[in-house]
């Protein structure tokens, strides 16, 4: 039983091996370069996105001083 996805992967792997002369060190070097290039591209994309995204609005301060709040609005035990 043939699986077209597995066949496609095997063809790509064979083509990659032939392209690099069946030399595992050359294939590994190529893979490392591809990985580094992809990481660099992702970093650039992240930097662009951060430049386009505005800073969130400031969060209003939380009231911590309860002395000016009438006792009727405080929960029991807060006064």
Instruction: Say what the pTM is.
Output: 0.53
Is it the case that residue 44 has pLDDT exceeding 90?
no
Alpha-helical regions (H) of the chain:
4-19, 24-52
Buried b (16+ CB within 10 A) or exposed e, 1-25: eeeeeeeeeeeeeeeeeeebeeeee
Report the chain's mean pLDDT, rounded to a whole number. Answer: 81
For position 38, what pLDDT does the model report? 93
Is it the case that residue 77 has pLDDT exceeding 80?
no
pLDDT, one tens digit per residue, over 4-38 is 999 999 999 999 999 999 999 999 999 999 999 99
Pair 17, 27: CB distance under 8 Å:
yes
Task: Please enumerate in sequence order all residues whose Cβ is within 8 A of that of 20, keeping only pairs 6 or more positions apart, or say none.
Answer: 26, 27, 30
């Amino acid at each position: 039983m043939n699986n077209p996805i597995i066949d496609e992967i095997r063809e790509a792997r064979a083509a990659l091996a032939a392209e690099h002369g069946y030399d595992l060190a050359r294939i590994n070097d190529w893979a490392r370069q591809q990985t580094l290039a992809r990481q660099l591209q992702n970093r650039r994309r992240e930097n662009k996105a951060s430049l386009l995204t505005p800073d969130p609005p400031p969060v209003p301060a939380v009231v911590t001083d309860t002395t000016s709040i009438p006792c009727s609005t405080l929960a029991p035990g807060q006064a």
